[in-house]
Amino acid sequence: LFVGEVDFLKGVVAMDGLPPDDRAEVCFAGRSNVGKSSLINALTGRKGLARASNTPGRTQEINYFTLGSERYLVDLPGYGFANAPVAVVAKWQALLKAYLAGRVSLRRAFVLIDHRHGVKAVDNEIMTLLDRSAVTFQVVMTKADKVKGAEHDKILEQVRGQLAKHPAAYPEIVVTSSEKGDGIGTLRSIIAT
Ligand code: GDP
C-alpha cells in the first residue's frame, strides 16, 4: 500500500520543529524494545527505515515519515528504559505531552504492547495521557508469533481488562507479527482510512 511512497521527513526535538499540520497523521508509541521499529519497517515495506531504539537517548526524537502526500506516520520515542537518565525521561515526557495535547492533525495513536508481556504500568501511564489529551488510541499487539494458544488468549484478556479503564481506547485490538506478517495488512488499511 505504502511501498515506494514512504520517506523519512525529519526528527523533531521540540514543538516548533513539527511540520505544518496540513495533513492527517497517526503516531506509534510503545515501550523500548516492543518491536516498534520492526513494525514500522514491516508496514512501510522498507527495511531499516525506522531505526531500532536500542540505546536510551538515541531516539529521543519524534520521527516523521511521509506516506504519499496525504499522511504522516509519526514514530514517538520508546519509553520505559530501566536505566534512562531522569533528565532524558523528563524531556521526553514534556515533549510528548505537548505533542499529544496540541497536535490537531493527529487522528489516532497506536499503542504497541508486547504480546508476551501484556499491559505494564508504563503503558497505562501513556494510555492515561492519551485519555487526558483526548487522543483516541488503538492497541497493537507485537511479536504475536512468540506466544502460543492459551497464553495468547490470557494476555489478550488482560489487555482488554486494562483497555476498559481508558475512555480514549478503541475496543478492537490489532494482533501483529512483523516477523510473520500477521496483522500488517489490517494495520495498513486502518492507517489509510
Ligand atoms: P523497538 O525498540 O520498539 O523499535 O523494537 P525493535 O523493532 O528494535 O525490536 C526489538 C526486538 O524484538 C528485536 O530483536 C526484534 O528482532 C524483535 N522483534 C520485533 N518484532 C518482532 C516480531 O514480530 N516477532 C519476533 N519474534 N521478534 C520481533
For residue range 13-49, list pLDDT tens digits in order: 899 999 999 999 999 999 989 999 999 999 998 887 8
ipTM over 0.90: yes
Say how many Å lie between the CA of residue 77 and the centre of ligand 1: 15
The closest residue, in CA terms, to atom 27 on ligand 1 is 143
**Structural domain for 63, as ranges:** 6-192
Number of independent structural domains in the chain: 1
Cell of 116: 508476551
Domain presence at residue 1 = no
15: CATH: 3.40.50.300
| Per-residue DSSP letter, 24 | E
Confidence (pTM) = 0.94
Please state, in angstroms and rounded to a whole number, the distance separating the CA atoms of residues 60 and 57: 5
Q: Give the nearest ligand 1 atom to 142 CA.
A: 23
Strand locations in the chain, DSSP E?
A: 6-12, 24-30, 62-67, 71-75, 106-114, 137-142, 174-175
Contact 78, 62 (CB under 8 A): no
Contact 147, 155 (CB under 8 A): yes
